[in-house]
């Protein structure tokens, strides 16, 4: 994203000759360093991790309480624009949408996971569920292909700025971005996941049907992959199925959608024929991903962004595809026998290819080869992946790498919740600054629970989508879609008891393989791990 402006900025400045931020502000905050010259977060720098959920909360509340609505449509501006300026240092009426083509699918999918899945689980504010509901309903009504298209009932990835009619983008000059009636299959996968996540929260059939439409289209249009073409094109005409650009390495969203549908089938009762089609498409994409011509071998990590020029020679490289592939592999560690080799390879590739390596006085990540500017969302993504790998392998380097990158990423958020792209590009993008930014901090604290607030109670992670949650002074109660799940909580003190569907859950030493709950004492409070194999409703008694 932001590619035209990136090109202009890069023509005048490169990472190698940017001055360091030492003793200066990073965007709107004074840079804070430790005695050993490690950059610390701007908020409560003396408490490791305290800033992570703080800035995520500021960003979420900005969307809910500060961001205005468009006077012509009554819609929040993230429905209409990809990016905006204003509100960086105040909450006055300086807001204005920018005239880039918009990326509605990326925004909607990101906000679903960041706000409805992760931030709601953490804080219990139901207003965010309503925000996401309205956004997804808008996508269904205004950004979905007709049922008689080859890619039927699928979301468009692009739209013209300010438009409520979303059918690709007319801003297609000079070979940049999607054309009218074109969509991007990886965004079909992302939106399918978002619809399915929201179905698990609400159990409303329209969201399940929307997810199934995405999965059906992806299964019907999968093809053999090679070095020059991926199992789904990067860009494709939705009506005719003519590929506009052949190669996109980011096959994880469709794979994730197919895997979710299979894992939920005990509740969904899909037909054997449908499941077989999903498995066939999923296996074709998976086999290509790890084949000698796939990106796990070639490292041709190209494709994702809606507004980049056509790149038929596959020269560009992006950070999001390898990092999200690494995240998926760690979340599904049983699927990759070479996990211990693959995850470090992906992390260090991104560190070398996109990291600033302290050339600017800090550790941060850039977006892609044609836009090598340090950015908050991509830095937070890299930090979360490093934290997750630390939690699996135990190596301190990854924890420190995560810590430094998360710290820098906090500086992109102002006190008002305005999230700048980065220090050299201060406008905000609804995808980068919100949908793709917020969720990474919650993955980070789930991987390193000591970074979660020690004086608060929070559910950090669940293997099932949380349908409802309530935080009271002496009780936490929540309900999940699945009856078998594992949870991780950071609590102020050890619970008195934990009930599942009204029945006491036993305390055990290790929940890895045993049903029950365990307590790990920390310097202040501790961590509860839950493994329950029956019952959706959980009550944690803190009396």
Domain boundaries, the chain: 101-306, 458-541
Q: How confident is the model at residue 169 (pLDDT cuts 50, 70, 90)?
A: confident
CA distances from 520 to 230, 450, 489, 523 (A): 45, 11, 10, 10
CB atoms within 10 A of CB 509: 9
Among left, alpha and beta (phi > 0; psi -120 to 50; other), residue 491 is: beta
* Residue 5, pLDDT above cutoff 70: no
Q: How confident is the model at residue 129 (pLDDT cuts 50, 70, 90)?
A: very high
Q: Which residues pair with 245 in a beta bridge?
A: 235
The alpha carbon of residue 216 and the mean position of all alpha carbons in its chain are separated, in whole angstroms, by: 23
* Residue 2, pLDDT above cutoff 80: no
Q: Which of 521, 528, 461 is nearest to 122 (CA)?
A: 461
- As a whole number of angstroms, the distance between CA 166 and CA 107 comes to 13
Beta-strand pair 526-532/516-521: antiparallel
- As a whole number of angstroms, the distance between CA 279 and CA 258 comes to 7
Q: What is the pTM of this model?
A: 0.94
Q: What is the CATH number of domain 101-306?
A: 1.50.10.20
Residue 505 DSSP symbol: P
For 331-355, write each residue's pLDDT tens digit. 999 999 999 999 999 999 999 999 9
Q: How confident is the model at residue 286 (pLDDT cuts 50, 70, 90)?
A: very high
Average of per-residue pLDDT values in the chain: 92
Q: What is the pLDDT of residue 484?
A: 95
User: Which tops the pLDDT comparison, 24 or 315?
Assistant: 315
Q: Identify the CATH class of 458-541.
A: mainly beta
Residues 386 and 349 sit within 8 Å (Cβ to Cβ): no
**Residue range 384-408: mean pLDDT, rounded:** 97
Residues 119 and 60 sit within 8 Å (Cβ to Cβ): yes
* Residue 87, pLDDT above cutoff 60: no
Residues 390 and 396 sit within 8 Å (Cβ to Cβ): yes
Interior/surface letters 139-161, b for 16+ CB within 10 angstroms, e for the rest: bbebbbbeeebbbbbbbbbbbbb
Q: What is the pLDDT of residue 68?
A: 86
Segment (H or E) for 105: helix 104-111
* Residue 363, pLDDT above cutoff 60: yes
Residue 69 DSSP symbol: B
Q: pLDDT exceeding 90 applies to what percent of the chain?
A: 83
Residues 197 and 119 sit within 8 Å (Cβ to Cβ): no
For 505-543, write each residue's pLDDT tens digit. 999 999 988 999 999 999 999 999 999 999 999 999 998
**Where are the alpha helices (H) located in 112-251, listed in sequence order?**
120-123, 127-142, 185-202, 205-220
Q: Which residues pair with 471 in a beta bridge?
A: 476
Rg (CA), the chain: 22
* Residue 250, pLDDT above cutoff 60: yes
Q: How confident is the model at residue 303 (pLDDT cuts 50, 70, 90)?
A: very high
Q: What is the pLDDT of residue 359?
A: 60
* Residue 1, pLDDT above cutoff 80: no
Surface-to-core class of residue 455, CB atoms within 10 Å of its CB (0-12 exposed, 13-18 middle, 19+ buried): exposed
């Amino acid at each position: 994203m932001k590619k035209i402006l990136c090109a202009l900025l890069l023509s005048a400045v490169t990472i190698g000759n940017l001055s360091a931020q030492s003793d200066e502000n990073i965007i709107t905050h004074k840079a804070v360093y430790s005695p050993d010259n490690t950059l610390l977060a701007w908020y409560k720098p003396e408490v490791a991790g305290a800033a992570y959920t703080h800035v995520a909360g500021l960003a979420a509340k900005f969307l809910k309480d500060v961001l205005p609505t468009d006077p012509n449509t009554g819609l929040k501006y993230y429905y209409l624009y990809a990016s905006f300026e204003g509100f960086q240092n105040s909450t006055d009426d300086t807001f204005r949408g920018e005239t880039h083509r918009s990326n509605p699918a990326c925004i909607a999918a990101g906000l679903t996971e960041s706000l409805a899945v992760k931030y709601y689980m953490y804080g219990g504010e139901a207003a965010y569920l309503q925000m996401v509901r309205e956004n997804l309903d808008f996508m269904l009504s205004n950004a979905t292909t007709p049922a008689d298209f080859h890619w039927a009932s699928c979301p468009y990835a692009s739209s013209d700025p300010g438009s409520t009619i979303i059918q690709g983008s007319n801003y297609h000059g000079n070979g940049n971005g999607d054309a009218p009636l074109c969509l991007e299959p990886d965004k079909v996968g992302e939106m399918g996941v978002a619809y399915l996540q929201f179905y698990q929260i609400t159990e409303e059939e329209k969201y399940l049907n929307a997810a199934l439409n995405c999965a059906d289209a992806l299964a019907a249009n999968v093809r053999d992959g090679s070095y020059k073409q991926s199992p789904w094109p990067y860009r494709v005409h939705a009506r005719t199925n003519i590929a506009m650009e052949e190669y996109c390495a980011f096959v994880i969203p469709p794979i994730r959608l197919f895997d979710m549908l299979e894992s939920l089938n005990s509740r969904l009762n899909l037909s054997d024929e449908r499941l077989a089609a999903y498995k066939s498409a999923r296996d074709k994409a998976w086999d290509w991903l790890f084949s000698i011509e796939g990106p796990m071998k070639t490292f041709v990590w190209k494709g994702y962004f809606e507004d980049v020029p056509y790149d038929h020679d596959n020269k560009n490289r992006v950070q999001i595809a390898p990092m999200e592939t690494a995240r998926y592999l760690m979340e599904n560690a049983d699927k990759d026998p070479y996990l211990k080799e693959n995850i470090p390879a992906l992390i260090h590739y991104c560190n070398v290819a996109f990291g600033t390596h302290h050339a600017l006085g800090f550790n941060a990540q850039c977006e892609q080869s044609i836009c090598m500017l340090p950015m908050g969302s991509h830095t937070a993504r890299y930090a979360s992946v490093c934290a997750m790998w630390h939690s699996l392998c135990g190596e301190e380097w990854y924890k420190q790498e995560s810590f430094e990158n998360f710290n820098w990423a906090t500086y992109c958020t102002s006190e008002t919740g305005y999230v700048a792209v980065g220090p050299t590009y201060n406008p905000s993008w609804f995808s980068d600054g919100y949908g793709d930014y917020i969720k990474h901090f919650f993955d980070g604290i789930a991987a390193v629970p000591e970074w979660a607030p020690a004086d608060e109670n929070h559910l950090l992670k669940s293997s099932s989508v949380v349908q409802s949650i309530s935080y009271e002074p002496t009780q936490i109660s929540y309900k999940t879609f699945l009856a078998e799940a594992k949870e991780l909580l950071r609590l102020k003190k050890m619970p008195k008891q934990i009930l599942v569907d009204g029945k006491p859950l036993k305390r055990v030493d290790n929940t890895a393989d045993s049903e029950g709950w365990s307590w790990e004492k920390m310097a202040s409070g501790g961590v509860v791990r839950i493994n329950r194999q029956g019952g959706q409703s959980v009550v944690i008694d803190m009396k």
